[in-house]
Amino acid sequence: MSQPPVAQPSVAQPPVAQPPVAQRRPVVRRHHGDEVVDEYEWLRDAEDPDTIAYLEAENAWAEQQTAHLADLREQIFEEIRSRTLETDLSVPVRHGDWWYYSRTVEGQQYAIRCRCPIGDVSSWDPPALEARSTIDDEQVLLDSNAEAEGHDFFSLGGFSLSDDDTLLAWSVDTVGDERYTIRVKDLRTGQLLPDTVTGTSGGVTWSADATHLFYTTVDDAWRPFRVWRHELGATGDDTLVHEETDERFFTGVGRTQSERYLVIGSSSKVTSEVRVLESDDPEGEFRIVLPRVSGVEYSLEHARLRGEDVFLLLHNRDALNFELVGVPVDGPYDDPTVLIPHRDDIRLEDVDVFARQLVVSYRSDAIARIAVTLLDDEAPNGLADPHEIDFGQELFTSGVGANAEWDQPLVRVGFGSFVTPATVYDYAVATGELILRKQAPVLGGYDPDDYEQHRSWATADDGTQVPVSIVCRAGTQRDGRSPALLYGYGSYEASMDPGMSVPRLSLLDRGFVFAIAHVRGGGELGRSWYEQGRLLHKKNTFTDFVAAARHLADEGWTSADRLIAEVGSAGGLLMGAVANLAPQAITGIVASVPFVDALTSILDPSLPLTVIEWDEWGDPLHDPDVYAYMKSYTPYENVAARDYPAILAVTSLHDTRVLFVEPAKWVARLRATATGDAPLLLKTEMNAGHGGVSGRYAAWRERAWELAWIIDTGTRHV
């Protein structure tokens, strides 16, 4: 039996008496008549040996300051591992003549993607496969462990099968910079084809006849901006199909669920435009469906309604929470038929289209829900009344799963909650039956009745009611004595849903309460909830989080000296802002790849993704009001001589989304400015990107490292 990688002991180092102190090399930034001196901007240069030396010194300091947690870290890692079925199989998904699934094997970091032939073509019940047994006629399509061999980092990007299941195209990143190399395998022979495409953004899409591949590349700002067509077997240059010249827009390429159309989507944070082309005509010209209009978003799918081919457009023109309309595939597109009208209390998020049904994903009462509606030629608009899938819980999350066929009698869906492990169902469209296919096993005697979940509401400074989702051990007393971890995000209309986490059990079983503050800027309560937390309303995100923290203390779930806050990426901006705004409300902060020097980044159009972000935060380069507003809240700008909570900042050297320099500068300024004796730690992964380390065992160890710090910090006053 193979064994997982073990933690390697660090080479003994002499103790460091004092934390690192970054050199001060002042540079002056001038905008809109405002002059700012930045002593630590020099840390941006990853090629400067002094930068690397500083990061390594911070790593050494963080390791020394947490050395007493080594046993706890190892204990938590073993708890995660012991609760996880390390050798396992996913639920098979049917496509063509095959069942597709992935394996995980004890001791191996990455998944193995496989397939086996369909036996009874009339049955849609996936085969009952055993993870530790030999599977008849199994084919290994891609072993990511073999792909990752010899690399410190590995990420699988695209994984795309040709329509006839004979060719596989996939892409990998072995650095962490999110630039992927595409390769192709002939599944009939197992041979790699000579076709190799480097420097892509990850995704890969086949034409219907498998003669061409479509993919995207990024510009110097890491923005996917070009769509290319590669002819299989050709040795010349690939063909540029589309170039997005507006720096606010991403572009990407895919197929409709029916596989009949290729789709190029271009979108900013608030505007979109779609081009289509029949997938059996890969060398044809893409055509625009609806030209972009500022502030109007739409997505496209293909359906057959009442015997006619139509495009379904999910859009927000005069429909804040979106509505679904249909237009003929050949036009005109400016006289749509409304299929699902806009509602103020429901945010339509996505539509999955099949030959005989639609599956609508939407939000109501801050819960992600699913409804299925049959295509009905007798109905006035071609759709029967929708039926919401009832999962039997009040606080949960749900979503559409992997569905690879256009015409299928079942719909694969996923469900979970704080106390319910991730569960896979097939929904029988004809009967409404939910057929359980798999629930993620949690070993070690896990019993959901040992835990309880709640929904509470905090009152923000302006009187807005902010939902807070809570999970804890059953019977937890609300006497203010429990340590707690509060999570949030609040950007890009992203919703933080209540799902179960195996690593989180190591907190709950030690008496922690875990909560999510569904702050404005997220999408939990619809588009207006997002609008109230972006641009010149961004501070609502921060005050909502502070209100949630104080609410947990007021309700007796915890107290300020036992409460840890944790968020990452754009949520790291939230963490830094809260540290400045209400440092007394929490005792510790974990900020992962945190966006804490937001103003510097958003002022520089040459940096990755900056111009795209102007729709989210505003354009401080050209608008003095936005500049002043952002400067009033960005964490780095507002570090002051005050007592701060304990802070652990985690970043990655190769992160292309939130550059490592942001937390590096932030910690350097905090250490030079903050009063009090709360620990300030910076931990940099030197071989990883925005998502952190790669491989499941490495990720478990990384999470155990963070959880040990959270436990130690949250229980200092217990």
| Residue 651, both tokens | 């970043």
Q: Could you confirm whether 569 is annotated as catalytic?
A: yes
Cβ contact 270:317 at 8 Å: no
The number of angstroms, rounded, from the C-alpha of 479 to the middle of its chain's C-alpha atoms is 35
**CA 35, CA 39: separation in Å to the nearest integer?**
13
Q: Which one is catalytic: 352, 597, 619, 655? A: 655
| Residue 391, both tokens | 């999962």
CA angle 186, 190, 196 (to 5 degrees): 50
Q: Give the DSSP per-residue string, 445-467.
A: T--GGGEEEEEEEEEPTTS-EEE
Provide the Cα torsion 251, 257, 262, 264; round to 10°: -20
**CA 482, CA 560: separation in Å to the nearest integer?**
10
Q: Could you confirm whether 654 is annotated as catalytic?
A: no
**CA 269, CA 295: separation in Å to the nearest integer?**
9
Strand duo 513-517 + 112-117: pairing: unpaired
The number of angstroms, rounded, from the C-alpha of 80 to the middle of its chain's C-alpha atoms is 21
**CA 123, CA 259: separation in Å to the nearest integer?**
23
DSSP at 11: P
**CA 403, CA 229: separation in Å to the nearest integer?**
26
Q: Which amino acid is at 484?
A: A
| Residue 213, both tokens | 């591949």
Q: Which one is catalytic: 201, 495, 569, 694? A: 569
Q: Could you confirm whether 717 is annotated as catalytic?
A: no
**CA 547, CA 222: separation in Å to the nearest integer?**
36
Cβ contact 618:653 at 8 Å: no
- 508-532: b or e for each residue (b if 16 or more CB lie within 10 Å)? bebbbbbbbbbbbbbbbbbbebbeb
Question: Mind telling me the catalytic residues?
Answer: 569, 655, 690
